[in-house]
């Protein structure tokens, strides 16, 4: 597996959890409003994309399937810890590769949570058993169930360049099925190409209009354009003084409001991570319980600077 913890750039940086390379106190973020909990259902995926930050593929089972019992345990912990969680998110890999995906979704919806599923909307989601389960959930829980479709670009050529020939059409077919059955959708694209934000959103607007998708291309929560997550890009470290310099609050950073649960291959139990974007970094593993996961997070990774603090990105809507 590619080592994501030893970037070529940023030599000498991000070495000490507490102190930057210049000797300043490293910025940290407290869990102040845990309004979302993410579950990584496993790293197995039906396709293998270029530049996938989690290295999902048909062969990578570094993160194994969670089960409905795992999910219920953490839902119980949310209640016990009195976390004000509103949304449960599922990501992967491809969540619908997990045979218990529909049951896990139901467990969350029955507790009153909104559910967001990140999916490529391809064949795993389009299996009849899965479709039947989703239709039943849609009838029972309506707009509490939401889907965010990974559509890297608004053109089939560039999307397929990342995800493989024919993948664009398969995702559009899945989105059409979701549209026809009244499910709420959003799209996650990538800011990889030489086009402005306005140009990208105009392209998605045309695509949505062509297919009758009720998705707002200009709403960042409905059309999310993620920056490229490249640890080899030089970025500044974030010190505690940067909050004032940048006029930004730690409460605006993703790890102030969310955590992610994963299960590593061979582990006896799932574990809680500080961030959805750092699944393989030991430093960001907080413990097996939500209580342990309430500790502060030090921003000791290039993604913390580029993606969250300077880019202002979030996985939630």
Token pair recorded at residue 295: 């500790």
The pTM score is 0.93
pLDDT per residue as tens digits for the range 229-288: 666 778 899 999 999 999 999 999 999 999 999 999 999 999 999 999 899 999 999 999
Q: Is 176 helix (H, G, I), strand (E, B) or coil?
A: helix
The radius of gyration of the chain's CA atoms, rounded to the nearest angstrom, is 19
From residue 79, give the alpha-carbon distance in Å to each of 73, 84, 186.
Answer: 10, 9, 28
Q: How far is residue 306's CA from residue 131's CA, in Å, rounded to a whole number?
A: 38
Q: How far is residue 289's CA from residue 13's CA, in Å, rounded to a whole number?
A: 30
Q: Which residues contact 133 (CB under 8 A, 6 or more apart)?
A: 102, 103, 106
* pLDDT for res 229: 67
* pLDDT for res 15: 93
Q: What is the CATH number of domain 31-232+252-295?
A: 3.20.20.70
pLDDT per residue as tens digits for the range 140-199: 999 999 999 999 999 999 999 999 999 999 999 999 999 999 999 999 998 877 899 999
Q: For a pLDDT cut of 90, what percent of the chain falls above it?
A: 82
CA 37 to the chain's CA centroid: 11
Q: Is 207 exposed, middle or buried (0-12, 13-18, 19+ CB in 10 A)?
A: buried
């Amino acid at each position: 597996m590619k080592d994501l913890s030893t970037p070529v750039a940023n030599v000498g940086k991000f070495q000490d959890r507490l102190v930057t390379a210049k000797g300043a106190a490293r910025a940290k973020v407290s869990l102040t409003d845990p309004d979302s909990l993410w579950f990584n259902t496993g790293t197995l995926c039906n396709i293998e994309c270029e530049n996938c930050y989690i290295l999902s593929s048909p062969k990578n089972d570094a993160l194994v399937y969670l089960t409905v019992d795992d999910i219920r345990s953490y839902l119980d912990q949310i209640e016990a810890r009195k976390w004000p969680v509103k949304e449960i998110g599922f990501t992967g890999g491809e969540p619908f590769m997990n045979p218990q995906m529909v049951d896990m979704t139901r467990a969350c919806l029955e507790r009153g949570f909104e559910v967001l599923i990140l999916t490529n909307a391809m064949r795993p989601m389009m299996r009849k058993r899965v479709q039947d389960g989703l239709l039943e959930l849609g009838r029972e829980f309506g707009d509490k169930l939401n889907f965010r479709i990974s559509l890297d670009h608004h053109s089939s050529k560039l999307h397929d360049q990342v995800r493989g020939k024919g993948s664009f059409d398969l995702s559009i077919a899945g989105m059409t099925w979701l549209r026809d059955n009244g499910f709420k959708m959003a799209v996650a694209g990538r800011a990889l190409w030489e086009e402005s934000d306005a140009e990208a959103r105009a392209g998605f607007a045309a695509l949505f209009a062509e297919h009758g998708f009720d998705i707002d291309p200009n709403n960042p929560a409905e059309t999310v354009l993620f920056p490229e997550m490249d640890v080899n890009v030089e970025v500044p470290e974030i010190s505690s003084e940067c909050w004032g310099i940048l006029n930004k609050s730690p409460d605006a950073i993703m790890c102030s409001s969310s955590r992610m649960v994963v299960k590593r291959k061979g582990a006896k139990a799932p574990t809680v991570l500080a961030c959805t974007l750092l699944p393989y970094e030991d430093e960001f593993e907080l413990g097996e319980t939500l209580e342990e996961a309430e500790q502060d997070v030090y921003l000791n990774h290039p993604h913390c600077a580029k993606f969250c603090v300077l880019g202002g990105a979030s996985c939630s809507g």
